[in-house]
Amino acid sequence: MVQVGRLKLSIVADSGDAPLIHWVRRAPLNGTSPAPGLSQNQARKLIETGKVYVGRELAADWRAVVPAQALVTVDTDRRKPQRIPSFDGTRIIYNDAALVVVNKPAGVVSVPPTRTGETTLLDLLCRTLGTVIAVHRLDRETSGLMLFAASKEAASILLDRFKSHSIERAYYAVVEGHPEPGLVEGRIDVTRTEYSSQRQTRHAVTRIEVVRRTGPLSLLTCTPGTGRYHQLRIVLSGLGTPIVGEKAHLPEGFKPAFQLPRLALQSFAMSLRHPLTDQPMHWELPLDPELEAILSPPSS
């Protein structure tokens, strides 16, 4: 039996009557030579560990019949995507000819591309609504209000408004510690080492208000006056009070007392003028139950 090492396989299904495992076993290595004798068990293992895609979609069922002319790919360098929380039409809270407003669940990537090729929120919306255009994004582990455009005209207007910061947004954040309320203004380090080794700083403005304090935690509302990369995460960590669940921007030497698989950050309010009618619009969500649970743990 051939041991499965690093593989990159691809094949176009020339018929629509064979299961996925058939095409995985037939796929030529790097598009030139035959697959290296993959057994049925080896092919199933590749499928079960998230290494096989049909088109852009993760393929998890080796029995599923692949449509004719679909591209089947195998790439052992791909990481298995995280589980995508359920998403249904109830999360679309507003929809017209210009706008779509969604209550994004934590754990879903906002828009392509992704390193895993996994399904994104934009993909899910396009399946449900047809053409939808992303005009901003939220981090994977952030929940709450996210805005999309339903037309190219609306997208152009909304992108300009995001650049000019005329779309108002507010966030709930649960942090470790007790920051002082007020306006935080100054330069923050937004260096992204995956793109550049050169340090980059940007001017950032953030208003912080305290909603309540619970033991070592604080629930804040944060209103960004600028739109910097990871602005709220960086600013709050810079104050020595990182968001619960933060991993990338912890203060030096800080050891989190609370562990959370997501980030305790929620986009809960958004205000704007409609891009076509100029009508003022506002949406607001209650505190995410997952954030409430952090603040109000069950009594023993």
Q: What whole-number distance in Å separates Cα of residue 61 and Cα of residue 190? A: 41
Q: What is the pLDDT of residues 176-224, one digit of tens each?
A: 999 999 999 999 988 886 666 688 899 999 999 999 999 999 999 999 9
Q: What pTM was estimated for this model as a whole?
A: 0.75
Q: Which CA distances in Å does 294 have to 119, 155, 221, 300?
A: 28, 36, 16, 15
**Domains located in the chain, CATH noted:** 8-75 (3.10.290.10), 170-265 (3.30.2350.10)
| pLDDT at residue 83 is higher than 60 | no
How do strand 265-273 and strand 143-149 relate by DSSP bridges?
parallel
Kindly indicate the confidence band of residue 91, based on its pLDDT and cuts at 50, 70 and 90: very high
Whether 170 contacts 232, CB under 8 Å: no
DSSP-derived secondary structure for 61-118: -TTSBPPTTPEEEEETTSPPPPPPPP--GGGEEEE-SSEEEEEEPTTS--SS--SS--
Whether 291 contacts 219, CB under 8 Å: yes
